[in-house]
Amino acid sequence: MADSSVSFLVDKLSSLLKEEVNLEKGVLKDVEYIKDELKHYKAILMEVDSLEHKDLELKDWVQSVRKITEDMEDAIDEYNLCLVDHHQQSKNNVIHKFAFGLKTTKPRHRIATEIQRIKSKVVTVSQERPSITGVGSSSSKRRSPRLDSQGDALLLEEADLVGIEEPKKQLCDLLFKDETNRAVISIYGMGGLGKTTLAKQVYDDPEVKKCFRIHAWVNLSQSFKMEEILKDLAQQLHNVIGKPAPESIGMMKIENLKEFIKNFLQRSKKYLIVLDDVWNMNVWDAVKHALPNNNCGSRVILTTRKKDIALYSRAELGKDFDLEFLPRQQAWSLFCRKTFQGKSCPPHLEEVCRKILKLCGGLPLAIVAISGVLATREISNIEDWNMVCRCFGSEIERNDILKVMNKV
């Protein structure tokens, strides 16, 4: 079974991290990322194994997970072989330690490069995960949502998205617009409004993938490291054409990486790059020089919480989307879908539910998060629901709503 091999690998990765192995700091972060994603895969694969019929897309996805598992096991085994001689010698032998460091520099670099390549594959596989009815959810009524203030797209399945159809259509129209210049499209709004959700729905659209054969999704943050961002982008671009990235990428500095990516994209046809959650103008200033105007109708989608970044990034050629809060009826529709699994709200709970929804202020992420809490409550116990309302309201009075969401 696929999930058993994933479980075995997760255990090996946990051991690798606990031993504080002699890998570069960035590589340890990659290992941690891969481990966390594999844990999520395990839950999905357990559901997949129980399905009687698996379509071709699902079978391909499972095969991709198996390949990642095998590649990562090989990388770990190779590293462990490098450690054998070291552990057989005295730990207090300073000369031996120095010699060991010199002897294993190339192997460690090779393994680091391989782990970066695998991480890039994991990112791609996570983005291309097929939609499976029932997968990732529990048949039990007591369930908890997965909350990630940056990646709110992971919280919303396509069937749960409310009011996204028109923005998605507008965004797709801009992507397909008969304009040869590279254009930048900025999606702007406060955290939790669904910027990533909108961008992901467009990025995953089959027609978009068909139009933009060369594509990549780059996750950013406030504490970005430009070198890691560019290496990840270079790895993804090679993965999408089915070729391994040159080992030299692992050794390149920022300017070399920009030039490498620029030359790759210059030779390609039209491309689509998504830069998700840009906090700093310096990020766009640094990345844009690696994204050439190859006069093929290439596009860049950028999501940000900052209006000035949205305006600045699309100043050359582009457009910005200002996402707004959900209208009352759409907010209620989303709330009921997530809280009552698509059923209508019981009459005796409607008053308290309306109060709770009002506290969310039309913020999709807040609605999804609090709905996950309410879905674990007994419908018959109205006092329990009133208690959630009081506690939620009290927290919001003292804190910003997004900080409250991280506690839910």
- At CA 204, angle to CA 155 and CA 332, rounded to 5? 35
Which tens digits make up the pLDDT trace of 320-365?
666 777 888 888 988 998 888 878 999 999 999 999 998 888 888 7
CA distance 169 to 173: 6
Helix or strand run (H / E) with residue 318? strand 318-322
Distance, in Å, from the CA atom of 154 to the CA atom of 316, rounded to the nearest integer, reads: 31
pLDDT at position 259 = 93
Mean pLDDT, to the nearest integer, of 303-326?
A: 71
The per-residue pLDDT for 143 is: 33
Sequence-separated (6 or more) residues with CB below 8 Å from residue 385 = 349, 352, 353, 356, 374, 377
Between CA 274 and CA 200 the distance in angstroms is: 9
- Nearest CA among 313, 225, 307 for reference residue 27: 225
Picking from 291, 357, 320, the residue whose alpha carbon sits closest to that of residue 195 is 320
How many residues in total does the chain contain? 408
Compare 349 and 75 and report the one with higher pLDDT: 349
29, containing H or E segment: helix 25-50
How far is it between the farthest Cα atoms of the chain? 77
Q: Indicate if the alpha-carbon torsion angle 171, 172, 176, 181 is positive or negative.
A: positive
What is the mean predicted confidence (pLDDT) over 232-253?
A: 87
Q: Would you say residue 136 has pLDDT above 60?
A: no
**Encoding tokens for residue 333?**
């529709």
Highest mean pLDDT among 30-34, 50-54, 148-152: 30-34
Instruction: Let me know: does 402 contact 149? Beta carbons within 8 Å.
Output: yes
Which helix (H) or strand (E) element contains residue 202? helix 195-203
Kindly list the structural domains of the chain, giving each domain's residue range(s) and its CATH number in brackets, ordered by start: 2-127 (no CATH), 152-322 (3.40.50.300), 328-405 (no CATH)
